[in-house]
Structure formats: C-alpha cells, structure tokens
Amino acid sequence: MGAPPSIVGESAIVIDAVTGRILTGKSEDKPRAVASTQKLMTALLVVEAGPLSDPLTIQQSDTTVEPTKLYLRPGDRFTRGDLLKAILVRSANDASVALARDVAGSVEGFAVRMNQRARSLGMHNSNFRNPHGLTVEGQFSTARDMARLARAAYRHSAIRGPMTIREYNFVHNDGTIRKLVSTNKLLKRLSWVTGMKTGTTRASGKCLIASGSLLGRTVIVVVLGSTPQAVWNDSEKLLRWALETPRPAQTAVTAN
C-alpha cells in the first residue's frame, strides 16, 4: 500500500472496521466540533435502549429545534425505528430530540448517557451536549474518537440498514408524504459504500464518516473540518486508497 492521499480536511482517520487497526491519520486527536456525525451516538443509544417498534408521541419541545427537520407535529405518533431511519438518512434534528427525550426523559439526560457510552468506548477526548450536533459551547470530539463510535455503531444491523438507503418516503400521521434523500452523496458515487453519517455547521466545517466494503474488507473513514466540495473527494480518495490497493500485513494498532 502506497502513501495515503493528501486531503483538504483538517482531521481524518482510516480504520479497519473489523480489527480496529488504524491505517492512517491526520490530526486525529485534535478536539473539534463534529456536527451531525454525532448522531451515530444517538442512533447507538436508541438501538441499545430497547425495541425499535416501541411507539413515541411527539411533544412541542421536540419541534423547536433548528432545521434540518421533518416538521413533526405535537401529538403525532411514530415508532423509534421510524425516527431512527429519518435521522440516519436525512439527519432530522427534531427526530433526534424526540428520540433523546423518549429514551432518557430529556435532552440533558440523554447527553449524560451519550458521555457515559463514549467513555465505555474509550472516547476520552469527547464531550456531547445534545443528540443532533448543533453547535453549543463545550461540545467536541476527535477523528479517533468518532472512529471508535462509528465502529461500534456499524456492528448493529438496525443502523447499517438505514445508512444504505438513498431515498425513501416518510409518511406523516395525516398521510402527507415527504421524500427523504440521503445526505451522503458517496452512496451514489461508489457502489460499495455502505453508509455512515454527514455533518456540517459553521463551527465544524463539512464532516463525513463513511464506510465501505470491498474484496472482503471493510473500512471506516472519518473526515472532519473539510469544505463542501472537498469532503466528498477527501473521503472517496481515502476509501479507494484503503480498499482498492493491496494492504500488507502490519502490526495492529487499534482505534479502541
């Protein structure tokens, strides 16, 4: 395997999803905002909390979060699985708040669980304050920590499945249908990409956690602090470098 490609993103890491071996990194331990990529933690906690068939009722407090959102209405009822799918495909912030409240009683309580789970995964350079990733003081992570999270999330079929969906119709309680198109453009670029999560705020820049499987290997790529155009090229170059070129045997250095 040759030298890894140069990228625009300020922080990055590539790991083997099965073994956790780190293949390359760039400022992977620098704390920074990671935006909606932290919804992978929200998804992980939701999946671990109980049946995705469990119903929940939307409350007014769930709807006041900023876009991107589904414009859920107070009193509407959905399953946890319905809303989990929406946050993984379209990054819906109101769905994230509703799930957090349903699982932990409040956004604040959910943040406590996020940080407890992060520590259990060895994410010692992260602090989460909300389930959606909108900018707030004191919220941060690193490329290495997000790779640890992504690897844990990838183990769950209930998360892997929705992440591969390019688009689908979300049906509101009144029958209104809204087409949700995946925020992950790599799903259309590369046939072997298996999903993960996008993120963008002014504080974070463009972020993408991407996974791919090819020739019996699966890798996870984390790119943070990139630009709207470069994030896709950064991630594609790193995925191709990791999966399309022969990989020599190495002493394992794991991400967790």
Q: What amino acid positions are annotated as catalytic residues? A: 36, 39, 91
Tokens of 251: 């002493």
- What is the 3 state secondary structure string of the chain? CCCCCCCCCCEEEEEECCCCEEEEEECCCCCECCHHHHHHHHHHHHHHHCCCCCEEECCHHHCCCCCCCCCCCCCCEEEHHHHHHHHHHHCCHHHHHHHHHHHHCCHHHHHHHHHHHHHHCCCCCCECCCCCCCCCCCCEECHHHHHHHHHHHHCCHHHHHHHCCCEEEEECCCCCEEEEECCCCHHHHCCCEEEEEEEEECCCEEEEEEEEEECCEEEEEEEEEECCCHHHHHHHHHHHHHHCCCCCCCCCCECC
Give the type of residue at 5: P
